[in-house]
């Protein structure tokens, strides 16, 4: 029966876009962190929305589950199939056309397989800013960004992917095409279907295209690295910048000493330029539409005030674009350094800024008491209260063995502190299969049951990315 289905896939897509040989499938089967590897009946590479719809109809008729996939850079195993070998991967990379850039409406309409960096470049070529920016931008795709409601470094000013999206085109679990591809900033016509699909991680529908917001390109950006002694000063510094720079503040990233030491170990050229690698290094970016002098002066004035108030002990302002890029690369390399170091336990969490100090103090102290020598790689988009609170084993211990013994208890320790502070166990990476088991306790029974009811209503056959986010 399966051979017949493979042939029908070939009839829809063209045989060369149905990958069934083991060697051809390998690149699609393991996630970026190499945490999950699955098997697949086939990898399907559609080019058009109609092709996606026809594939879904075929899968629905044969009860075959579909795992939608973009750049496969997600951190929660959402785009990796299970081990049954009965699921198909639907990778959207061939759907990579920009359909339109509407200058008056300040929108871009594009297909789900467009790579994020190429969208930024296309927008810039037309004098627009597409503000979504994250470490994986060279390979993640807009469909994946929408499906995970990705965050990144510009959320502070422009919001997350949900905030940037005005309309969607989606193929439903029945293979119907929902055309919600309107570039409207106001549309109060009942339930917001767009918001339902954003962040649903491929479990409710397959996003094939979107209308996204564009912004005017800033005329000037200034980037600085500053040293702080503790988290309280770092938060006070954020408040100061928010007061003085208001909407010109476009980046506020925190990196701890331990995070940057790991960076230096694996990427010596990414060493912290601040003397002695201080306890906390903060990367701050201001963007301005007025003039270079205006924003530079503003930055210097705020830094002087921060020095006078003893909030910072050192600062270096990037003297040119290339140095500013190096600062950002330093921030982005922490994730890569962790990957080089070996398996680690990630916690992508949000905490209200008012509780952040108590969260870090208590969690650090409990962690070090229970697991002496453990390395806490804590960094993140502090402006949004988003920490990447990651745990690496004590030096000299085998990371895999350490994780096997302590993973559950370490997650429980961190998540208990997150709940105490009324935070979230997933700030921007989603749920996927990684946090499936933790979701019910975190959301509460009512919210979790509502999510299951939605899943059952939209995908009664449970063929869209089953056992990701919620199991029904
Ligand atoms: C170095 C690095 C840095 C990162 N930094 C950040 C960061 O700062 N902020 C952040 O939020 N994330 C970050 N990530 C995580 C990741 O890049 C994002 O989650 C990204 O949005 C995933 O996009 P993707 O195309 O790779 O999606 P995939 O990994 O392919 O898929 C992710 C999920 O979306 C579903 N999906 C994919 N495409 C579709 C579609 N068209 N329709 C329906 N469902 C779909 C998949 O089934 C899966 O559940 C980082 C990752 C790396 C490797």
Give the chain's domains with CATH numbers: 2-91 (3.30.43.10), 98-216 (3.30.465.10), 220-420 (3.30.70.2190)
Mutation pick for ligand 1 pocket among 32, 67, 68, 74 (CB with most ligand atoms within 8 Å): 74
CA distance 366 to 414: 9
Atom of ligand 1 at shortest range from CA of 92: 41
Q: How far is the CA of 79 from the centre of ligand 1 (A)?
A: 8
Query: Residue 427 and residue 413: Cα distance in Å, rounded?
Result: 17
pLDDT of residue 2: 82
What is the rounded distance in angstroms from the CA atom of residue 126 to the CA atom of residue 190?
Answer: 34
Distance (Å, whole) CA 233 – CA 230: 6
**Mean pLDDT in residue range 92-96:** 98
- The two three-digit tokens of residue 166, written as one number: 């005005």
CA separation for the pair 71, 188 (Å, rounded): 33
pLDDT at 1: 64
Please provide the size of the chain in residues: 472
Residue 20 three-state SS: coil
What are the structure tokens assigned to 127, written together?
A: 């004098």
Model confidence pLDDT, tens digit, residues 281-328:
999 999 999 999 999 999 999 999 999 999 999 999 999 999 999 999
Cα-to-centroid distance, 284 and ligand 1 (Å): 25
Please give all residues whose beta carbon lies within 6 A of any atom in ligand 1, as ranges: 32, 67-75, 78-79, 92, 112, 134-136, 140-141, 143-145, 147-148, 150-152, 201-202, 206-207, 335, 428-429, 432, 465, 468
The answer to whether 203 and 469 have CB atoms below 8 angstroms apart is yes
pLDDT, tens digit (0-9, with 9 covering 90-100), for 425-464: 999 999 999 999 999 999 999 999 999 999 999 999 999 9
Atom of ligand 1 nearest to the CA of 381: 8
Pocket test for ligand 1, best of 69, 139, 467 (most atoms within 8 A of CB): 69
Nearest ligand 1 atom, CA 153: 8
> 439 and 431 in contact (C-beta within 8 Å)?
yes
At 189, the pLDDT band (50, 70, 90 cuts) reads very high
Q: What is the pLDDT of residues 368-384, one digit of tens each?
A: 999 999 999 999 999 99
Q: Measure 77 CA to ligand 1 centroid, in angstroms.
A: 10
State in Å: Cα 463 to ligand 1 middle. Answer: 20
Question: Does the pLDDT value for residue 362 go beyond 90?
Answer: yes
Name residues whose C-beta falls within 8 Å of residue 230's C-beta, 6 or more positions apart in sequence. Answer: 279, 280
> Which strands sit side by side in the sheet containing 98-102, from one edge to the other?
98-102, 107-111, 206-213, 165-171, 177-180
Atom 11 in ligand 1: residue holding the nearest Cα:
150
Distance 426 CA to ligand 1 centre (A): 13
- Output the six-digit token pair for 13: 């897509």
- Hey, is 15 helix, strand or coil? helix
Give me the mean pLDDT over the 351-369 stretch: 96
Q: Can you tell me which atom of ligand 1 is nearest the CA of 143?
A: 41
Spatial separation of the C-alpha atoms in residues 386 and 353, rounded to whole Å: 9
What does the pLDDT read at residue 3? 85
Express each pLDDT in 145-179 by its tens digit. Answer: 999 999 999 999 999 999 999 999 999 999 999 99
Percent of the chain beyond pLDDT 70?
100
pLDDT-above-90 percentage for the chain:
98
**For residues 403 and 85, what is the distance between their CA atoms, to the nearest angstrom?**
27
pLDDT digits (tens, 9 = 90+) for 45-69: 999 999 999 999 999 999 999 999 9
């Amino acid at each position: 029966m399966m051979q017949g289905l493979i042939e029908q896939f070939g009839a829809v897509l063209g045989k060369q876009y149905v990958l069934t040989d083991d060697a051809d499938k390998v690149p699609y089967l393991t996630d970026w962190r190499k945490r999950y590897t699955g098997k697949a009946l086939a990898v399907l590479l559609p080019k058009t929305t109609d092709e996606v719809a026809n594939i879904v109809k075929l899968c629905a008729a044969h009860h075959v589950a579909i795992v939608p996939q973009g750049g496969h850079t997600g951190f929660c195993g959402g785009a990796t199939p299970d081990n049954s070998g009965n699921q198909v991967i639907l990778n959207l990379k061939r759907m990579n056309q920009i359909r339109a850039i509407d200058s008056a409406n300040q929108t871009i309409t594009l297909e789900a397989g467009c790579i994020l960096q190429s969208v930024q470049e296309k927008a810039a070529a037309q004098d627009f800013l597409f503000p979504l920016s994250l470490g994986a931008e060279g390979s993640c795709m807009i469909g994946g960004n929408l499906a995970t409601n990705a965050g990144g470094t510009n959320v502070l000013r422009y919001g997350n992917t949900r905030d940037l999206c005005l309309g969607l085109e989606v193929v439903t679990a029945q293979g119907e095409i929902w055309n919600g591809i309107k570039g409207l900033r106001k549309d109060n016509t009942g339930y917001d279907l767009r918001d339902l699909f954003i962040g649903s991680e491929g479990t409710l529908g397959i996003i094939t295209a979107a209308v996204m917001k564009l912004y005017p390109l800033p005329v000037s950006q200034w980037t600085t690295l500053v040293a702080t002694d503790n988290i309280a000063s770092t938060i006070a510094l954020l408040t100061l910048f928010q007061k003085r720079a208001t909407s010109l503040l476009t980046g506020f990233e925190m990196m701890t000493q331990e995070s940057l030491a790991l960076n230096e170990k694996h990427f010596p050229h990414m060493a912290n330029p601040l003397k002695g690698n201080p306890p906390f290094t903060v990367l701050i970016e201001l963007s301005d539409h007025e003039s270079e002098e205006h924003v530079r002066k503003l930055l210097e004035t705020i830094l002087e005030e921060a020095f006078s108030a003893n909030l910072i002990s050192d600062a270096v302002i990037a003297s040119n674009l290339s140095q500013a890029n190096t600062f950002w690369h330093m921030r982005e390399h922490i994730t890569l350094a962790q990957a080089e170091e070996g398996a680690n336990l990630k916690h992508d969490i949000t905490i209200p800024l008012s509780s952040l100090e108590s969260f870090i103090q208590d969690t650090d102290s409990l962690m070090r008491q229970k697991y002496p020598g453990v390395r806490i790689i804590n960094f993140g988009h502090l402006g949004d209260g988003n920490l990447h609170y990651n745990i690496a084993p004590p030096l000299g211990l085998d990371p895999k063995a350490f994780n096997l013994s302590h993973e559950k208890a370490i997650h429980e320790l961190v998540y208990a502190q997150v709940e105490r502070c009324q935070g979230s166990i997933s700030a921007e990476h989603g749920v996927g299969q990684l946090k499936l088991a933790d979701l019910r306790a975190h959301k509460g029974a009512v919210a979790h049951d509502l999510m299951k009811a939605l899943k059952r209503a939209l995908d009664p056959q449970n063929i869209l990315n089953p056992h990701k986010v919620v199991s029904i």
